[in-house]
Structure 1
Amino acid sequence: MNTTTGASPEDLRNRLVDAIVKEDTIGVRDARVDTAMRTVPRHAFLPDAPLEEAYANKSVTIKENPDVDALPLSCASQPDVVHFMLVQLAVREGDNVFEIGAGTGYNAALLKYLTGPSGHVTTCDIDPDVTAYARRMLDANGYGDVRVVTRDGALGAPESSPYDRVIAAVGMWDLPGTWWDQLAVGGRLVVPLRWRGLSRSVAFRREETRMRSDSVKMCGFLPVIGQDGERNNYIDDNRLVRLYWDQDQDQDQDIAPELLRDSLSRSKSVAWTNATVGPVESFDGVWLRLSATERQTCRITVNPAAMEVGLHRPASFALSPALVEGDSIAYLTLERTAENPDGEPRFRLGAVGYGPAGTDLAERICTQIHAWSPARTAEPVLTAYPADTPDSDLTDGAVIDRPSVRLVITY
């Protein structure tokens, strides 16, 4: 049960939204979204969480995974992510909205607030425990007119289509064809999309023969159940370095991890650029540019113990972009600069390569660092086409094929 903190839930909601607005992670505002989050009581959808936790800017697990090494099965998303995805969605009064990933029901309540009395909201989840929870919370808080269905979100809900807005609250590796069929031309789709180890909240506008993005923002979501297009495997005998790549790269033999088994024990080649970042400054834009220019873009995660056996430090132990070619690999790295040792630290970016093509791969990463540095907030445009679209009908850019969609990434 929620417990008192000395501050009212209304005060806590306002403080949370004030902090989110002040941070302004995406540079776009929607006063209607601010008002919705100041009005709909998040704590009422999390009755077992203390008020401080309900109004902290963090996700809250509502269903654990029985596999202790796996991610939770369902959670209430972090409020600032909820906020910017609703801004991306641009819901209007009277809209018909479909949500994939019911969670606690809180997001559906926000959607209903935004659509108003004349709007319609349908939320779905594949897990009956999750939909039962969402149904109870929505009913208890005055949102009984929100429709809750239990099914695979990839199937959509054709009985209530066409939709003006579709939003996914789970990470998607593919865009099901049913969503195309059920989203009206001119409508918007907001989805946490996964490719080349990245996860981004992408806002698409539906056109006649394609969907084109107008907003691409950093995010992280639990992956949807049933899409398993990402592969991973260790590339060292000590099982300290794990490589992640996509199914289409596997099929085309762009990446074969068994060829990399000895690569990290070979001599290394380090290349540096003049681009620097502060201690909390994102450099994920380098990764985005790599995905738009290099088909062999992937990512690595590294156990810090790997440094003890001689591995060169990656830029991030948990998420570092990499390039692979045959039996060679390169990945992003950084080191503290000697400038202004008493002030805020700065770190210059570079790349380290291993294997016969390691030097070339490292230089190719540095090329994208140079391209990113003068335009660090620039976003790519993602254009999605049905899977049967011929090459001649695609816009220029890097093509990533999925079972249901062809993605083209362009800067």
Structure 2
Amino acid sequence: MNTTTGASPEDLRNRLVDTIVNEDTSGVRDPRVDTAMRTVPRHAFLPDAPLEEAYANKSVTIKENPDVDALPLSCASQPDVVHFMLVQLAVREGDNVFEIGAGTGYNAALLKYLTGPSGHVTTCDIDPDVTAYARRMLDANGYGDVRVVTRDGALGAPESSPYDRVIVAVGMWDLPGTWWDQLAVGGRLVVPLRWRGLSRSVAFRREETRMRSDSVKMCGFLPVIGQDGERNDYIDDNRHVRLYWDQDQDIASEPLRDTLSRPKSVVWTDATVSPVESFDGVWLRLSATERATCRITVNPAAVEARLHRPASPALSPALVEGDSIAYLTLERTAENPDGEPRFRLGAVGYGPAGTDLAERICTQIHAWSPARTAEPVLTAYPADTPDSDLTDGAVIDRPSVRLVITY
């Protein structure tokens, strides 16, 4: 049972939403989403969590993975992520909404609040334990009219389609063709999409022959079960440095096995950031310009072993070609030592083409710096779309979709 904190659940909800709104720098607002999150009791969908945890801005695991080294099987998403994805979705009263990833049922309850008495919400999950939990929570909290189905979300739910809105609460590497068939023209799809080692919540608007994004935001979600297009492997014998890439890329770990032990080259730019300023846009620009873009993850032991520190050791962009690699890095500048620190951005390269790869990263740092909040446009086409019908940009082919990224 939830335990008391001295503050009422209503106060805690209001504080949480106030914090989310005050810390949101996107400038995109939907007062209806704020009201929904101030009204629907998140703690009631997490009865085993203390009130402080239920209204903290963090995800809550509801089903652990039996593999101790793997990610949980199901989570209640972090509230600020729930908030901005619902803003992206732009639900209207009376909409017919389909959700993939039932979780606790809380998000489906928010969707039902937003669609109103005349709207319809269907939520699904591949795990029967998850759907059973969501069903119990929805029924217990007055949302018995939300439909819960147990199935692979990639199949959709054609029996209740067409949908005005589709929202996905698991990380997707591909966009199944069934979603195209079940989403009405003019409808919206919000999905945590994974490509080139990064993950972004992309809001698409469905058009006749394509889907085009109008919002791309940083997010992280558990990957969907069954899509195996991502690859990863260690590239050092000590297993300190891991690389993540897509199956359509000409990348292999073996040629890189001793690359990081070779001399390195460091290339710096004049672009700087504060400790709290995002440089995420550099990665997005790389994915739109460099087919060799992937992700590097470095554990503390590698940094201590004198590997040049990636900009974010847990996940930084990298370029790989054959036996050469470069990745984004940063260092504190010597300016204003007593004021707010600044960090300049650059790249570190290893291998025969390391310097060239590092310079190519720096080219995209220079492109990003004058327009740091600019978002790319992602346009998705069915997999059989010919090149002549694609818009200009970097093309990434998946089994069900051709994705074009454009700045």
- What range is the shorter-chain TM-score in? over 0.9
Which residue of the partner structure matches residue 18 of structure 2? 18
Shift of residue 308, structure 1, vs aligned partner: 3.3
Runs of 4+ residues deviating >6 angstroms: none
C-alpha offsets along residues 260-311 of structure 1, whole Å, 9 cap, x if unaligned?
1121111111000000111121111000000000000001101121133331
C-alpha offsets along residues 291-337 of structure 1, whole Å, 9 cap, x if unaligned?
00000000110112113333111111100100011110000010000
State the secondary structure of the residue aligned to 2:131: helix
Shift of residue 26, structure 1, vs aligned partner: 2.5
For structure 1, the residue ranges without an aligned partner over 5 or more in a row are none
Shift of residue 236, structure 1, vs aligned partner: 1.0
State the secondary structure of the residue aligned to 2:295: strand
Conserved in 1, the CA contact under 8 Å of 2:229 and 2:247? no
State the secondary structure of the residue aligned to 2:26: coil
277-286 vs 372-381, which moves further: 277-286
Conserved in 2, the CA contact under 8 Å of 1:242 and 1:301? yes
352-361 vs 277-286, which moves further: 277-286
Shift of residue 35, structure 1, vs aligned partner: 0.5
Q: 1:4 to 1:135 in 2, by over 3 A?
A: same
Instruction: Figure out how many residues of one structure are paired with residues of the other and give that number.
Output: 407
Conserved in 2, the CA contact under 8 Å of 1:26 and 1:84? no
C-alpha offsets along residues 217-260 of structure 1, whole Å, 9 cap, x if unaligned?
00000001111111001111111111100xxxx66662121111
Q: How far apart, in 1, do the equivalents of 2:306 and 2:132 lie? A: 51
Q: How far apart, in 2, do the equivalents of 1:146 and 1:277 lie? A: 46
Conserved in 2, the CA contact under 8 Å of 1:242 and 1:300? yes
Q: How far apart, in 1, do the equivalents of 2:50 and 2:142 lie? A: 22
Q: Does 2:388 correspond to 1:396?
A: no
Which residue of the partner structure matches residue 251 of structure 2? 255
Q: How far apart, in 2, do the equivalents of 1:107 and 1:134 lie? A: 10
Q: 1:317 to 1:253 in 2, by over 3 A?
A: closer
Q: How far apart, in 1, do the equivalents of 2:209 and 2:25 lie? A: 31
C-alpha offsets along residues 62-108 of structure 1, whole Å, 9 cap, x if unaligned?
00000011100001000000000000000000000000000000000
24-33 vs 96-105, which moves further: 24-33
Which residue of the partner structure matches residue 136 of structure 2? 136
Q: How far apart, in 1, do the equivalents of 2:238 and 2:82 lie? A: 39
Q: How far apart, in 1, do the equivalents of 2:304 and 2:334 lie? A: 24
Q: 1:255 to 1:35 in 2, by over 3 A?
A: same
Q: Does 2:282 correspond to 1:286?
A: yes
Conserved in 2, the CA contact under 8 Å of 1:279 and 1:345? yes
299-308 vs 149-158, which moves further: 299-308
Q: 1:251 to 1:142 in 2, by over 3 A?
A: closer
State the secondary structure of the residue aligned to 2:135: helix
Q: 1:22 to 1:331 in 2, by over 3 A?
A: same
Conserved in 2, the CA contact under 8 Å of 1:14 and 1:38? yes
Conserved in 1, the CA contact under 8 Å of 2:332 and 2:342? yes
C-alpha offsets along residues 22-64 of structure 1, whole Å, 9 cap, x if unaligned?
1124320000000000000000000000111111111010000
Q: How far apart, in 2, do the equivalents of 1:22 and 1:132 lie? A: 35
24-33 vs 82-91, which moves further: 24-33
State the secondary structure of the residue aligned to 2:187: strand
State the secondary structure of the residue aligned to 1:88: helix
Q: 1:369 to 1:253 in 2, by over 3 A?
A: closer
Conserved in 1, the CA contact under 8 Å of 2:231 and 2:247? no
Conserved in 2, the CA contact under 8 Å of 1:383 and 1:407? yes
Shift of residue 19, structure 1, vs aligned partner: 0.7
Which residue of the partner structure matches residue 324 of structure 1? 320
198-207 vs 18-27, which moves further: 18-27
Output the TM-score relative to the length of structure 2: 0.99
Show the 5 A alignment for 1:160-179: 160-179=160-179
Q: How far apart, in 1, do the equivalents of 2:403 and 2:247 lie? A: 17
Q: How far apart, in 2, do the equivalents of 1:102 and 1:57 lie? A: 19
Conserved in 2, the CA contact under 8 Å of 1:323 and 1:331? yes
Conserved in 1, the CA contact under 8 Å of 2:230 and 2:247? no
Conserved in 1, the CA contact under 8 Å of 2:240 and 2:298? yes
Q: 1:87 to 1:219 in 2, by over 3 A?
A: same
Show the 5 A alignment for 1:2-13: 2-13=2-13
State the secondary structure of the residue aligned to 1:118: coil
Q: 1:167 to 1:363 in 2, by over 3 A?
A: same
Conserved in 2, the CA contact under 8 Å of 1:163 and 1:182? yes
184-193 vs 250-259, which moves further: 250-259
Q: How far apart, in 2, do the equivalents of 1:254 and 1:342 lie? A: 46
Conserved in 2, the CA contact under 8 Å of 1:173 and 1:229? yes
C-alpha offsets along residues 350-379 of structure 1, whole Å, 9 cap, x if unaligned?
000000100000000000000001100000
Output the TM-score relative to the length of structure 1: 0.98
Shift of residue 180, structure 1, vs aligned partner: 0.2
Q: How far apart, in 1, do the equivalents of 2:97 and 2:279 lie? A: 34
272-281 vs 130-139, which moves further: 272-281
Conserved in 2, the CA contact under 8 Å of 1:233 and 1:243? yes
Q: How far apart, in 1, do the equivalents of 2:381 and 2:364 lie? A: 26
Shift of residue 148, structure 1, vs aligned partner: 0.1
Q: How far apart, in 2, do the equivalents of 1:145 and 1:218 lie? A: 32
Which residue of the partner structure matches residue 367 of structure 1? 363
Conserved in 2, the CA contact under 8 Å of 1:172 and 1:224? yes
State the secondary structure of the residue aligned to 1:12: helix
Q: How far apart, in 1, do the equivalents of 2:9 and 2:296 lie? A: 42
Q: 1:3 to 1:169 in 2, by over 3 A?
A: same
